[in-house]
A and B are shown apart, each in its own frame.
Chain A
Amino acid sequence: MPQVTLTVNGASHTVEVEGRTLLVELLREKLRLTGTHVGCDTSQCGACVVHVNGDSVKSCTLLALQADGAEITTIEGLAKPDGTLHPMQEAFREYHALQCGFCTPGMVMSAIDLVQKHPQGLSEKEIREGLEGNLCRCTGYHNIVKAIAAAQDVMHGRRAELAPAAE
């Protein structure tokens, strides 16, 4: 069986896979990193988004073998070892940007990539367009957009702490 070697959240792994094994299957079933979700079978929902060499991609639409040698970051790799959340995770909590939470890992990973690629800042419209590859069936996106708008100020150093959500 072919082998794939990749770095996931800073740790190197060498794993035996089939040709058809998807990256998300490797993450969930071989490495037991089940924070990355699978919500559809059509590459549309974005629940499986992870970062591959710094870019957000749908891990259900990438063969594990295509990720050979890559640096992968999943939702499990965001918080600090002491449990301090990434500013985007903290913003999702503060702004109540989820209900059932199924889409949340993918939303957070897409949102971080979106913010990192736009250091000049994103308007509400740009955030909504930037989330085109992620579906949420609970919240109607409103609080997700607010959370991302707040998180970008912290990520870009424009605010030391997250702006509190309105009462």
Chain B
Amino acid sequence: MYDFAYHKPTTVADAVKILSADPEARPISGGQTLLPALKHRLNKPTAVVDLSGIAELKGIRREGDRLVIGALAKHGEVANSPEVKAAIPALAQMASTIGDTQVRNRGTIGGSVSNNDPAADYPAAVLGLDATVVTDKRRIAADDFFQGMFTTALEPGELLVAIEFPIPEKAGYAKMRNPASRYVMAGVFVARTKSGTRVVVNGAGPGVFRQAEMETALAANWSADAVAGVKQSPDGLNGDIHGSAEYRAHLVTVMAKRAVANAG
């Protein structure tokens, strides 16, 4: 690993100041993605800004018909949170399957969503639940936030502060994991909310995306049978040694059926 300076600010304003002054500085929360990348010298930051001492980024709370999760909430905290389990059980269930126990004890929702790995779990829930990403500067709708592989609407120096999830009527998630890496080969998040029915695919493509045909089918008939006949096109999906684009396209329909079943 290349060496870097280390900062540990205690306010969002101080963190943003350091990050804005130095475009080569990187924020770190749990570090479960950043540190492996640094170890492989895939990245050479001049400074690492540790966010873990910033109280404003912490906490999980219910605010009316929304669940607000601070950027520093660890996967394990979300999985075990009574507030999350009561309001959006599918989100707690999803969090309980991210990585492994040790990753869940360190990795955070803000880090996962900011990184937007195509095989990450959380982006599917953020988009599927029509959540709002709150940063130090503005509020961003999930539909505008995710912009393809490892790309988001966040500007340089902009920090994700919290995510606001509208509480859905029903939601469910299912994924097929790569048996070796445990990353998502194809996953589907389904939700029925006040603003409509959403079906989001992760893992299969270069980024999370909504599956419009399945949304229409589920809006008309909320059942696993409704999505069973909808085929996902393999065009643009990922194909690699772990599975072809055609295989992943097939998995999308299978995972959609399971996600609806999980939602109940």
9-residue interface stretch from B99-107, B216-224, B231-239, B249-257? B99-107
Given contacts A61-B32, A114-B101, A130-B101, whether A19 and B3 have CB atoms under 8 Å apart is yes
Assess the A58–B48 pair: CB atoms within 8 A.
no
Q: Which residues of B lie under 8 Å from residue A62 when comparing CB positions? A: 31, 35, 106
Assess the B40–A132 pair: CB atoms within 8 A.
no
Interface assignment of B1: CB less than 8 Å from any CB of chain A: yes
Closest B residue to A44 using CB positions: B181
Assess the A43–B38 pair: CB atoms within 8 A.
no
Assess the A132–B101 pair: CB atoms within 8 A.
yes
Q: In the complex, what's the smallest C-beta–C-beta distance from A142 to chain B, in angstroms?
A: 19
Interface assignment of B150: CB less than 8 Å from any CB of chain A: no
Assess the A66–B40 pair: CB atoms within 8 A.
no
Assess the B2–A110 pair: CB atoms within 8 A.
no
Q: In the complex, what's the smallest C-beta–C-beta distance from A28 to chain B, in angstroms?
A: 15
Q: Residues of B within 8 Å of A, CB-based: how many?
A: 29
Assess the B106–A41 pair: CB atoms within 8 A.
no
Given contacts A2-B6, A61-B31, A63-B48, whether A20 and B102 have CB atoms under 8 Å apart is no
Closest A residue to B103 using CB positions: A133
Give which listed residue, A61, A65, A110, A113, contacts B36 with CB less than 8 A. Answer: A61
Give me the interface of A with B, judged by CB distance under 8 Å: 2, 18-20, 22, 41-44, 46, 49, 55-58, 60-63, 65-66, 68, 110, 113-114, 130, 132-133
Give me the interface of B with A, judged by CB distance under 8 Å: 1-6, 8, 28, 31-32, 35-36, 38-40, 47-48, 50, 52, 76, 99-103, 105-106, 181-182
Apart from A41-B40, A62-B31, A63-B35, what are 13 other A-B pairs with CB-CB below 8 Å?
A20-B1, A22-B1, A41-B39, A42-B36, A43-B103, A58-B102, A58-B103, A65-B6, A68-B8, A110-B101, A132-B182, A133-B99, A133-B101
